[in-house]
Amino acid sequence: MTRLVYSSDLHGDMALYRATGEAACRCEADAIVLGGDLCPGTPSASAVALPHSQPLFLLDDVAPLVKSWRRDRPALRVFAIPGNDDCGTILAALRELESVGLVENLHQSSARLGPYSLVGLAFVPPTPFSFKDFERRDGPEGRPFERQAARSVLATEQGFQIIADFDSYLKSLPSIEDELARLPATEASRTIAVLHSPPYNTRCDVLYGGEHIGSRAIRHWIERTQPLLTLHGHIHESPKMSGSFSDRIGSSVVVNPGASGRVPHIVTIDLGDVIELAHSVYGRRKI
């Protein structure tokens, strides 16, 4: 049976990374999947160093850790996507890690894991925060933009670049709906989708105020394609607010492990029986 360990929104916390690797080795997992927001730094951060320091974090801190996991479990594979708190400059670092066989980047791509296919997408609908590298309109129209709490920026090799007109910037790019349509075709019943944004109106996209803030485009894509399993993050508090880290959309099992400070939120999943889930905080659940 193919087994994976999933976590998201580690935000550069090495203790959480180590806990994820230890869980994978302990349960003899075939793969670790990391669902975005990989690096230190917050959406409101103004430190000009982040476009440079985030890639270095992956190369200097994460890469040696993955090598240590491999010493304990040589066949272990590590898959990842960025998240909206990551700078676009980390894509080059992920390519470098992929070239040496350490981390496989699923963003806008796919990979095989035994009889299963993994696909991934980092984009989220617009947030009120600064980093915009992985934000897109949800669909052709998109929902009304939230009031921006800080200036909108993109990460470049020269530092942060201010987006003068965020509305026009978004309209110049494909939507999340467009990007989902471009994902490689896979056999739905054996597909695991790693999508940083959770789908709209589920137990996996609930904010502290009770509002559902997930992606409608992602929900419609899941409803239409019915992958075996979809893995999300982004809304840290959702499991606490909704009372569940998992849900269903048709036959698809939807998971958001949540995040809470330095407490590891890790889900262990046997792909031959995805309705049986084990969470490091919330225990076992049959969905």
| Residue 131 reports pLDDT greater than 60 | yes
What are the tokens at 285? 């659940």
**pLDDT for residue 230:** 98
Between 140-144, 170-174, 260-264, 266-270, the lowest mean confidence (pLDDT) is in 140-144
CA 145, CA 13: separation in Å to the nearest integer?
30
CA 139, CA 121: separation in Å to the nearest integer?
15
Span 269-282, pLDDT tens digits: 999 999 999 999 99
Q: What percent of the chain shows pLDDT beyond 90?
A: 89
Which one-letter DSSP state was computed for residue 92? H
Which amino acid would we find at residue 37? D
Cβ contacts of 208-214, under 8 Å, gap ≥ 24: 208/237, 208/241, 210/241, 213/125
Find the domain containing 83 and state its range.
3-286
- With beta carbons less than 8 A apart as the criterion, state whether 282 and 239 touch: yes
3-class SS of residue 205: coil
CA 287, CA 274: separation in Å to the nearest integer?
8
**H or E element that contains 93:** helix 90-99
Taking residues 61-65, what's their average pLDDT? 98
Which residues 6+ apart lie within 8 Å of 64 measured at CB? none
3-class SS of residue 36: coil
**Counted domains in the chain:** 1
3-class SS of residue 242: helix
Span 15-37, pLDDT tens digits: 999 999 999 999 999 999 999 99
Span 180-230, pLDDT tens digits: 999 999 999 999 999 999 999 999 999 999 999 999 999 999 999 999 999
- With beta carbons less than 8 A apart as the criterion, state whether 191 and 116 touch: yes
- With beta carbons less than 8 A apart as the criterion, state whether 60 and 211 touch: no
- For residue 248, the domain's CATH number is 3.60.21.10
**pLDDT for residue 287:** 85
CA 276, CA 283: separation in Å to the nearest integer?
11
